[in-house]
């Protein structure tokens, strides 16, 4: 499936397991993302997304969002949107 780069991981929180992502393209709930890096390779569907601790349904380029992730990610990891 084709993938489009949509941002970079800027932060990681272990409780809850959340990745902070600086978006360079829009992202919305239900989108499938692939996060890759030196030791990272996870694919997940966005089920929880926040901006400044407020739940949002979508975000645009330039936004800094937090999304729940299934595993540890690292600063600088690349985030791709998987297009069906």
Whichever domain contains 62, its CATH number is: 2.40.30.10
What mean pLDDT value characterizes the chain?
96
Question: Which residue segment(s) compose the domain that 33 sits in?
Answer: 3-73
Alpha-carbon span 53 to 51, nearest angstrom: 5
Alpha-carbon span 3 to 16, nearest angstrom: 27
Prediction pTM value: 0.94
Q: Is residue 83 situated within a structural domain?
A: no
Q: How many domains does the chain have?
A: 1
pLDDT digits (tens, 9 = 90+) for 62-74: 999 999 999 999 9
Alpha-carbon span 44 to 38, nearest angstrom: 18
């Amino acid at each position: 499936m084709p993938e489009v780069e949509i941002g970079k991981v800027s932060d990681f929180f272990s409780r809850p397991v959340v990745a902070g992502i600086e978006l360079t393209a829009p992202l919305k709930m239900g989108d499938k993302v692939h996060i890759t890096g030196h030791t990272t390779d996870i694919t997940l569907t966005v089920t929880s997304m926040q901006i400044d601790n407020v739940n949002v349904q979508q975000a645009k380029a330039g936004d800094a969002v937090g999304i729940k992730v299934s595993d540890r990610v690292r600063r600088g990891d690349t985030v791709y949107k998987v297009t069906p």
